[in-house]
Amino acid sequence: MYHYYMFNKPFGCVTARRDGRFPTVMDYFKDLQNDRLSPVGRLDRETEGLLIITDDGKWNQMMTHPDYQKKKIYEFTVLGDLDPMNLQKLENGILLNGSDIPTLPCKITVTARSVLSEIMPSLPSEVQAAIGRNRPDHPVTSGTIIITEGRKRQIRRMMKAVRCCVVALKRIAIDDIVLDENLKPGEWKEMQNNCKQ
């Protein structure tokens, strides 16, 4: 019988089995003593949120293969002003640095606009140190983005292409699997097999 775990990945750990510098997501599953467990896809070290861990290799491949275009929803906060023109560029598909194929269309909803001084206390200290030289009144935009691809650091690169810098990123859903709001960063729970689609 296969196992499926919903994990709320915390900031600062890497999606890997072993790493010489940082804690890994698999460190959180050591007590299960199941060597067949693997993450479904990846989240970069600075990205938080929904990560599924399973020993079902076939299902893992289906969830991550580009052909299936699984919908992934993220909450984001960027330094910069996402104006209507840049939003349209991103939603229509944009060329990323180092790629000659534009991203697939996506859907972005802006939920808040503020300034850096308002959001700074909520950011990890590592991020605060990296962006601390910006003006306190630097514009900040928050929202949700829905993508169907999984290119390396895709959302960060998309935002950079319109002169915005991601300071917070959290995946909240993959298709109809939604992160349980009661799971704190670093916590996980077993999911039912009905996640097989």
- Where b means 16+ CB within 10 Å and e means fewer, 100-115 reads eeebeebebeeeeeee
Q: What whole-number distance in Å separates Cα of residue 101 and Cα of residue 188?
A: 36
Q: Does the annotation count 44 as an active-site position? A: yes
Give me 85's structure tokens: 């023109």
d(CA 120, CA 89): 28
H/E segment holding residue 57: helix 57-64
Out of 44, 55, 81, 175, pick the active-site residue. Answer: 44
Please give the Cα distance from 79 to 147 (Å, whole number).
Answer: 20
Quote the CA–CA distance of 88 and 162 in Å, as a whole number: 11
- List the catalytic residues: 44
